[in-house]
Structure 1
């Protein structure tokens, strides 16, 4: 077991099986020293969206539930990375996270929601988890998920 897997174990995080795509795309692409992970929804360990992680933040979904959904998306990103790389210790750095937050009109407290994902990546990867980020409020997301997060990692060969 590598250092990142040890850290996950220490944090009591079990990675689920990597989710299958829900449309015509691949979950990850490796190109040179880059691993690009497609947007991940807040699927739980059972492969389903928790009802508390569906809908619009600011209209039925609390900010706390939104942060928890973003955290779950980050866990699913790591599950995809493990499936693609075999060994999470191949991750040199999280370069960027992109967050899409399903919000009610007028809801503007979007960055703290995305911190659920950002904080998890830093917890797991340490300084190598500090990343650039975009966070965008959107009108709808697939399967009515409250949050979707994508990632770009620099990887070792």
Structure 2
């Protein structure tokens, strides 16, 4: 699956970034048995942090793109955890997405679809997962989206 996942990313016009370093006192991932828990990855693109508040100064489409950037970082952390062997992925178990949004914004699921859709596009059925998509009054550094993940690996 390593080549397949990287090929799928390339077909989508995406490149796997380097796994981001932690921004505070935590580790980027923890392996426990056959589960990999990846710390929240914030929306970050080639031009830097993707900031904004959904329902105020960002569209749902912009939010979904921010969520996709989080998914790329999650895959990068997965890749680091399995020493570059993405074929060790059994499945994406769960995503938990936080959306920096106004009190009346209700399209958090549509925003987090940016990450969910990428997981399925890259990993096929193994990318289908359980999920939460919740609103946050603010997120670290003013980012638009933060997503954490649980993966099953072998």
Q: TM-score, normalised by structure 2?
A: 0.94
Tell me the alpha carbon deviations over residues 89-123 of structure 1, each in whole angstroms, 9 at most, x when there is no partner.
11110000000000012111111011000000000
> Which residue in the other structure is 1:111 paired with?
109
Q: Which runs of 5+ in 1 are unaligned?
A: none
* 1:9 CA displacement: 2.4
CA contact (8 A) 2:6 2:16 kept: no
Q: Distance in 2 between matches of 1:29 and 1:45?
A: 26
Q: Which runs of 5+ in 2 are unaligned?
A: none
SS of the equivalent of 1:2 reads: helix
Q: Distance in 2 between matches of 1:16 and 1:111?
A: 25
Give runs of aligned pairs for residues 33-44 of structure 1, distance below 5 A: 33-44=34-45
Tell me the alpha carbon deviations over residues 3-28 of structure 1, each in whole angstroms, 9 at most, x when there is no partner.
22222222222111111111100011
RMSD: 1.2
Which stretch of structure 1 is more off in the superposition, 2-11 or 117-126? 2-11
* 1:44 CA displacement: 1.5
SS of the equivalent of 2:38 reads: strand
Is residue 123 of structure 1 aligned with residue 121 of structure 2? yes
Which of 41, 63, 72 is the matching residue for 2:60?
A: 63
Q: Distance in 1 between matches of 2:12 and 2:107?
A: 27
> Which residue in the other structure is 2:5 paired with?
4
Tell me the alpha carbon deviations over residues 22-76 of structure 1, each in whole angstroms, 9 at most, x when there is no partner.
1100011111101111100111246x21xxx312101111111100000110011
> Which residue in the other structure is 1:79 paired with?
76
Q: TM-score, normalised by structure 1?
A: 0.92
Tell me the alpha carbon deviations over residues 114-140 of structure 1, each in whole angstroms, 9 at most, x when there is no partner.
100000000000000000001110101
> Which residue in the other structure is 2:93 paired with?
95
> Which residue in the other structure is 1:140 paired with?
138
